[in-house]
Chains A and B, each alone.
Chain A
Amino acid sequence: MGSSRSSLRGVPDGQQLLQETGFSAALLLRLHQRFQFLDKDSRGHLRSEDLEAELSENPIGDRIVGAFFQPGQETVDFPSFVRVLAHFRPTEKNWTRDGVQPEPANSRNRKLKFAFQLYDQDRDGKISRTELLQVLREMLGLQVTEEQLQSIAERAIQEADLDRDDAICFDEFRKSLEKVDIDHKMSVRFLE
């Protein structure tokens, strides 16, 4: 693999990312080019404005951008950028939980966790009623009244909240999505 080593020369942590994320060398190169394109001032890292520009059409754009940043961090470097994108690779069928190998980023569990954290912004492990109302307001904008919003949130909590603590924990979230083909719906088709 000598040539891939040379081609990844400009990419920070290139070799490590190859093994960690499972992206091919060519794809890592393309992602690095994309990163450099988004990094308009060539700082070597991205700020939230750089990503928000691409997501201005998305109702929950701000949340998705937030998922790239660690708590308290204001910048994203390339390895962190790629590690988030790694969640969206199609799941490998032959990985089994054996406790030895670390769970890959694109396993079903990790994908679900990513989606859960989009709702659970304060990262306390539960989607509270307030958080649900917030995300609903973002997705629906001004198209619904406050009463309609409340009734939608009420219905959603009643359906998913099994232990009746007025919040949705990760297990309840996972149960509610157990029939969904997460591998397909939360994967981006990278052209390798």
Chain B
Amino acid sequence: MENLWYVAGTIFQLWMFVVVFFIMLPAMFGLSLGVTEVYIQVLVKILEWATLRIQRGQQEQPSAPIPLHTGIIERVGGSMEEEMWQLRCSRPEAAGAFCLSDGVYFCKKGLESIVEDQVTQRFSSEELASWNLLTRTNQNFYYISLRLTIIWGLGVFVRYCVLLPFRIALASTGISWLVIGTCVVGFLPESSAKNWLSELVHLTCYRICARGLSATIHYHNKENRPQKGGICVANHTTPIDVVILANDGCYAMVGQTHGGLLGILQKSMVRSCPHVWFERSEMKDRNTVTRRLRHHVAAKTKLPILIFPEGTCVNNTSVMMFKKGSFEIGGTIYPVAIKYDRRFGDAFWNSSKYNMVSYLLRMMTSWAIVVNVWYLPPMTIQDGEDAAQFANRVKSVIAHQGGLLDLAWDGGLKRCKVKDSLKEEQQKMYSNIIVGQNHIRTTKTCSETREDQ
């Protein structure tokens, strides 16, 4: 019995030694020991080999159906006006009137939506063109060669039995130190020393958490990093986005107060530096939210606020509509584009498919998370621009930098039915084609008949 305690004690001491010297100290100074870089390089070599094997295997078995990796259909065609014009065979006398062929346009659009709608495609994980030895990304895993299967089996062992426990231990260490550290710092009186210490604690613990996910983050254009008193907006793929961004700077988080473990974390974090946590009832009142955020921004000494205007997680191939609320607060907006490298693990959180715990488990059993973060030059609202237009401007800048598709769809669509206003828009467009000219035509025929008399 005592032996067991002794062994447990030694393991714990060894673990603490490893964490403090190999992970925490470098994290405090923002250094890296280079272990992850080597790991990533080795991984890339293995994955390239695996892809070649698969391609060779596919050539040898040509009858096996290759799963489609892009959409089911290709949408072509122009605007409603162009399509209607073509449907009417470019007959000028048909303009301004209803033609029986008009229904064909809506019919085709409807069938296209049934087979594949653009919104849902963004919310299922992008299928990889090659295979990264995680069966979860290959829908039709079929046997190709013994060697490949062995490597895959080895990969499973390494990921679940070696990496997973290590990562879980690291992540829990990081989070518990964050709670303890911020609590301790909270006892200090308000001073610049306290702020500096609080930043150090936050940065170190987030870096430990990032190590716990084997995350390799490349930051670009660091000169555009968000400043105090500003608002940082970024595209949202996963809750891990927060960890990714907080590795390089301190932000004031915005969110709902939770209970349980997360609640403890929130309470202790707010002791050391001002985050903005809302009660659930306050979240419904947009004015309260905007007012509090405005106060925060107006005090130029507070940390920049971190907001994800999409409001939901999207699968990192596109950027959805930015809700204009964040852009009504005022202040300078610092856009940030985040792009995950799919080869090592799919970071997208499909909240309808996985809950938080199973999602984190998936993350920790992936190979690694490789991210590119681009800081973009600050933007402010211009004269004559309303919040929605400003939001769209910021969105296209982020989409352009990250190589993501700029979509006008509302991210909330994945949860609720579309509002009727979209149907109304279609009806408006159609009536412009018909009635817009029909009115003129009826008066013309009237004057013609008058001339005849």
Contacts and interface: CB of A to CB of B under 8 A. Distances in A.
Interface of A: 1-4, 7, 25-27, 29-31, 34, 37-38, 51, 53-61, 64, 85, 88, 114-115, 118-119, 135-136, 139-144, 148, 151-153, 155-156, 160, 168, 173, 176-177, 179-182, 185-191
B31 interface: no
B112 interface: yes
A87 B170 CA distance: 57
Q: How large is the interface on B (under 10, 10 to 19, 20 to 34, 35 or more residues)?
A: 35 or more
Interface string B74-90: 11100000010011110
A17 B112 CA distance: 20
Contacts of B386: none
Contacts of B76: 189
A29 B103 contact: no
B438 interface: yes
B108 A185 contact: yes
B57 to A, nearest CB: 13
A180 B110 contact: no
Interface string B419-440: 0101110111011001100110
B113 interface: yes
A115 B435 contact: no
28 contacts: A1-B63, A3-B63, A3-B64, A3-B65, A7-B64, A38-B114, A54-B114, A54-B117, A57-B113, A57-B418, A58-B423, A59-B426, A64-B106, A114-B107, A115-B104, A139-B430, A144-B431, A151-B438, A152-B435, A177-B100, A177-B104, A180-B104, A186-B107, A188-B108, A188-B115, A189-B74, A190-B73, A191-B70
B112 A143 contact: no
Contacts of B438: 148, 151-152
B120 interface: yes
Given A141-B431, A152-B97, A176-B100, A118 B114 contact: no
B65 A186 contact: no
A119 B68 contact: no
Contact of A156 (B71, B97, B110): B97
Contact of B435 (A29, A144, A180, A191): A144
A25 B115 CA distance: 16
Contacts of B113: 54-55, 57-58
B430 A140 contact: yes
Contacts of B109: 58
B426 A2 contact: no
Contacts of A51: 114
A59 B97 contact: no
Given A31-B72, A188-B115, A152 B98 contact: yes
A128 B120 CA distance: 38
Nearest to B70: A191
Contacts of B103: 60, 115, 118-119, 135, 139
Given A3-B64, A187-B108, 8 more contacts: A3-B65, A27-B68, A29-B65, A31-B115, A58-B109, A139-B106, A142-B427, A143-B427
Secondary structure class of chain A's binding surface, majority of residues: helix
B380 interface: no
Contacts of A191: 68, 70-74
A85 B86 CA distance: 23
B72 A34 contact: yes
Question: Which of B65, B105, B422, B431 has the most chain A CB atoms closer than 10 A to its own CB?
Answer: B65
A136 B75 CA distance: 26
Nearest to A51: B114
Given A148-B435, A177-B101, A191-B73, A56 B418 contact: yes
Given A115-B103, A119-B103, A168-B100, A53 B417 contact: yes
B382 interface: no
Contacts of B420: 56
Nearest to B66: A26
B427 A59 contact: yes
Contacts of A139: 102-103, 106, 427, 430
A151 B442 contact: yes
B98 A155 contact: yes
A163 to B, nearest CB: 16
A27 B70 CA distance: 12
A96 B314 CA distance: 48
B68 A57 contact: no
A4 B74 contact: no
Interface in B100-152: 100-117, 120, 140
Contacts of A4: 63, 65
Interface centre among A56, A57, A136, A186 (most CB of B within 10 A): A57
Given A55-B114, A191-B72, A64 B107 contact: yes
Contacts of B87: 180, 185
A78 to B, nearest CB: 13
Nearest to B69: A191
A186 B104 contact: yes
Q: Which 8 A-B pairs have the closest CB atoms?
A: A141-B427, A143-B431, A64-B110, A189-B74, A57-B422, A3-B63, A56-B418, A26-B65
Nearest to B74: A189
B46 interface: no
A1 B370 CA distance: 41
Contacts of A153: 98
B67 interface: yes
A119 B67 CA distance: 38
A140 B426 CA distance: 8
B18 interface: no
B67 A34 contact: no
